Amino acid sequence: MSSPWEVVIGLEIHAQLATVSKIFSGASTAYGAEPNTQACLIDLGYPGVLPVLNEEAVRMACKFGLSVNATVARRSVFARKNYFYPDLPKGYQISQYELPIVENGELMITGGDGNQKRIGITRAHLEEDAGKSIHEGFGRSSGIDLNRAGTPLLEIVSEPDLRSAKEAIDYMRKIHTIVRYLGISDGNMQEGSFRCDANVSIRPSGESELGTRTEIKNLNSFRFVEKAINFEIERQIELIEDGGKVVQETRLYDSDRDETRSMRSKEEANDYRYFPDPDLLPIEIDDDYVEAVRATLPELPDAKQRRFVADYGLRQEDAGILVGTRAVADYFEAAAVATGAGAQIVANWVLGDLSAALNRDGLDIDGSRISPARLAGLLDRIDDNTISGKIAKEVFEALWAGEGTADEIIDKKGLRQITDAAAIEAVVDEIIAANPTQVADYQSGKDKLIGFFVGQVMKATGGKANPGQVNAILKDKLGSA
């Protein structure tokens, strides 16, 4: 049954830009310092100081714009967004309003129906982050930490094109992957370097006008985005079906209770008294600048996925997972070109045993204890029948433990597969001689007993007999079941 309600979602994603210093001052942006040790006079909002724009932030915004097929404005303007809050000592946030640096971009996601779907990116603008209020450990007072004040952010605003929590997550993941590919944000969500506000409304299916939306602030995990949106959809549907009305407001998601709560009624743009910041010149960039930035763009995830499918014959879905992290894609590719075993086999191992080992030890791919070359060495030995798939798991563990190359491990541990037919036959003869009852049962029709015999031969050979040969020789010697 199709729902009588259509869900409409637009995301405002804040990506902290990975500059060394702040957007308008020379203070460090490093995370985790003692409170207020990385806030200079500009970040503290002292009178008489002047902001100086960090060109690196501009370059990063430009990179992003080009990656989502957007227009990079040749002229954009910083504006003051005025509001009072204790963690904002100047009384205004420097942002961009009427003339943002990036406009009219787009991104493809996999829509609810499984087809590719275009999501419009309205704009992306540069702004500074505020400080942090700390409510614990100060009794009835609050502490203020201004280390984060002035940290560069890129706010990426989508069109209201998303139709479910799943699509929203898909879109957000893609943006997350892109900023990390570009190296313009570390994307660390626990540290708040990548977070989003979700705007959610519903309307009767088929209706073209937008419903009244609420905005859920500051979601810093994919799971919370999904849960908060789904809660909010249910809340709005119930409210309207009970004869009520959605109020335009800002809400907070409480992950402990899995619900959203009203925080304040939604402010309008004119509450902020935006005006161009007289302390900063407009950002003016020319075509040469934009082309120079374009030349530095890496291969992006979608293009890489297409190439992995076309050049390596990978399954679409596997290629999609591999390109999700640039370092994983690079690892795969390094191993794939180094082995003759076939790229899909490499993908299976990277997504299977290698991922499992990394997870188990809490490592990411850069911390892998097996290099791409060593994994390739292992796969080559499976491919040329030196070892069986089962023994390969044992070699993999030894590789992980740093015991040498696959060849060294196979030699040292004597794991080479037995493919000498005479040697296998000798073992088969012994097993047959030692189990007359089972032989009689097998020959009178209990053909499932073949598994028993295979097991005995494998046991006797320490798992090293070639399984295909064992089967064939057993069937030949036992006669028909």
Judged by the rule CB under 6 A, the positions of this chain that interact with ligand ADP are: 8-12, 157-160, 199-201, 210-211, 213, 269
CB of 159 to ligand ADP, least distance (A): 5
CB-nearer residue toward ligand ADP: 268 or 288: 268
CB-nearer residue toward ligand ADP: 160 or 463: 160
CB-nearer residue toward ligand ADP: 269 or 422: 269
CB-based burial label for 152 (10 Å; 0-12, 13-18, 19+): buried
CB-nearer residue toward ligand ADP: 59 or 81: 81
Q: Beta strand pairing status for 249-254 and 214-219?
A: parallel
- The Cβ of residue 36 has, within 10 Å, a number of other Cβ atoms equal to 15
CB of 180 to ligand ADP, least distance (A): 22
CB-nearer residue toward ligand ADP: 15 or 341: 15
The residue nearest ligand ADP at its CB is: 10
CB of 9 to ligand ADP, least distance (A): 6
In DSSP terms, 96 is beta-bridged to 78
Q: Tokens for 323, please give them.
A: 């390109």
CB of 269 to ligand ADP, least distance (A): 6
CA 110, CA 118: separation in Å to the nearest integer?
9
CB of 111 to ligand ADP, least distance (A): 17
CB of 468 to ligand ADP, least distance (A): 58
Backbone φ, ψ for residue 91 (5° rounding): 85, 0
CB-nearer residue toward ligand ADP: 210 or 292: 210
CA 97, 98, 101, 102: dihedral to nearest 10 degrees? 100
CB 133 within 8 A of CB 87: yes
CB-nearer residue toward ligand ADP: 73 or 335: 73
CB of 8 to ligand ADP, least distance (A): 4
CA 250, CA 260: separation in Å to the nearest integer?
10
CB-nearer residue toward ligand ADP: 229 or 395: 229
CB-nearer residue toward ligand ADP: 186 or 215: 215
Tokens 């898909």 belong to 170
CB of 131 to ligand ADP, least distance (A): 21
CB-nearer residue toward ligand ADP: 12 or 408: 12
CB of 149 to ligand ADP, least distance (A): 22
**Nearest to 164, CA basis, from 216, 215, 221, 113:** 113
In 3-state terms, what secondary structure has residue 235?
Answer: helix
**DSSP classification of residue 142:** -
Q: Please give, one letter per residue, the 3-state secondary structure of 145-208.
A: ECCCCCCEEEEEEECCCECCHHHHHHHHHHHHHHHHHHCCCCCCCCCCCEEEEEEEEEEECCCC
CB of 288 to ligand ADP, least distance (A): 32
CB 125 within 8 A of CB 102: yes
For the chain, the maximum distance between any two Cα atoms, rounded to a whole number of angstroms, is: 100
In 3-state terms, what secondary structure has residue 465?
Answer: strand
**Nearest to 284, CA basis, from 118, 446, 73:** 73
Angle between helices 301-312 and 165-182 (to 10 degrees): 90
